[in-house]
Amino acid sequence: MRSHSPDFSTGQFDPTKRQFLAGAAAASTLSAIGCANPYGHEASYLTQVLQPQHQNTVFHWADIALQQVRNQRVLTPRAAYNYGLTMATGFLAANGIEQAYGEPFDIGEGPRGADPEVAYGVAFATAAEEAFQQSFFFERAAFLSRFPDSEAKSLGVEWGRAVGLKVLQMRTDDGSEPSEVNYYFDDYPRRTDVLRWRPTAPFYSASPGPAFSSFDRGLFPGHGRIKPWTMKGCSQFRSADFYDPASPEFAEVFDFIRRIGGEDSTLRTADQTEIALFWEDGPWGITPPGHFIYIAVQLLQERELSFIELARAFALIGMTQCDSSICAWDTKYHYDILRPESAIRSRALKFGNPDPRVVLQPDWRSYIPTPEFPSYTSGHSTFGAAAAEMIALIYGRDDIAFSGRSPDEVIWPQLRGVTRHWTSLSQIAEENGLSRIYGGVHWKIDDSAAMDAGRALARQAFHSTFPKKT
């Protein structure tokens, strides 16, 4: 156990970093290596939701990861991987010292008397350097400057570094490196029928808002082959097959998305339009998994969890967000299902569906930009269901009334000043999933199937991954 607590109240920098920040040239260099802003700065995500008295080591490093995803414009599946790797590594280092929970990775017992919070930060930074491919020297130095020099601190640094390197070694061949490129590598055979996914088109953009340039391949087709943290295998929670395109079920979802998800929809309400934008989360912010980490900070700060309990909580949230990305991408590329935009604009007459509602509409455009990868199932819905379920399990109940604003309002200026209100975590997960339907980029079955998978994934992880030692 530790004898001193770090001072998070000042937001101070290490003197070396303060000197480095002086001058325009230094600031330019700093921007290139991606230094994080401290709590209290407007660019810090914690500033938006965290009360000063609740600052701590776990939240401090979560904020650094969120900022780095934003600053590097890390795409959603890779962001989920990075969150999982860093948060799991930090917890494993701290838990090796405190020995509060069992774990399946054989990390071993840390040195007696080592500071677990120091170990957490050093291990987190070590993993982050690999995940984000850049130095976290300044972040680590500023963090360590908050702890008085002592043997406990020295032992914590040594152990944290050792655990960080051990976890990175453990994950060396986890399949994440090949998944960073948009090549199939024969991992998933392409469909040959009318449901086959193809890129929407190079014209896709929203003004104001994000835009996608021309593309030829789907995003990260190998991501579903990454070794998971908590699942028994990549396909454990793979969803059942998609609808037959000639079926009444397909006609129903086709008609619904065509009427509610179009750019000029008269069926979509003002509230549903706001929901579509509120949960869009990308591609230049903290991404959908980051949004739920942000919500976890907001909700768990007042639960009076001990340091190791909070470290475990965020490890489970980060790991299941990573596994949600693997689960969703495995299902996406296994089934290779086209997006509504392709179906409505160009393929409606090829489905052989006798329902008169399956009509061609060449000028139809989704309300928000259609992403460049297969539709079934929804990554958003998987992330949201898993995170909401996990937070509820950690918190102890689902019926939590709270409010929130978009963490990245700059992406959609329409969201500036908008606050949404919820009565439960399950409501927030459902709203997040439905946002993709209101935005016109997913079929209804994409959402419902993904919600089932995300919830099941979280329940298994919570009850089996880090059992409390007796």
Per-run averaged pLDDT (10 residues), the chain, 470 residues: 47 36 36 71 95 97 97 96 98 98 97 98 98 96 97 98 98 86 84 93 53 65 96 98 98 98 97 97 91 98 96 98 98 98 96 98 95 96 98 97 93 90 98 98 98 98 95
**pLDDT of res. 123:** 98
**pLDDT of res. 283:** 73
**pLDDT of res. 210:** 56
**pLDDT of res. 14:** 37
**pLDDT of res. 8:** 58
Q: 3-class secondary structure for the chain?
A: CCCCCCCCCCCCCCHHHHHHHCCHHHHHHHHHHCCCCCCCCCCCCHHHHCCHHHCCHHHHHHHHHHHHHHHHCCCHHHHHHHHHHHHHHHHHHHHHHHCCECCCCCCCCCCCCCCHHHHHHHHHHHHHHHHHCCCCHHHHHHHHCCCCCCHHHHHHHHHHHHHHHHHHHHCCCCCCCHHHCCCCCCCCCCCCCCCECCCCCCCCECCCCCECCCCCCCCCCCHHHCCCCCCCCCCCCCCCCCCCCCCHHHHHHHHHHHHHCECCCCCCCHHHHHHHHHCCCCCCCCHHHHHHHHHHHHHHCCCCCCHHHHHHHHHHHHHHHHHHHHHHHHHHHHHCECCHHHHHHHHHHHCCCCCCCCCCCCCCCECCCCCCCCCCCCHHHHHHHHHHHHHHHHHCCCCCCEEEECCCCCCCHHHCCCEEEECCHHHHHHHHHHHHHHCCCCCHHHHHHHHHHHHHHHHHHHHHCCCECC
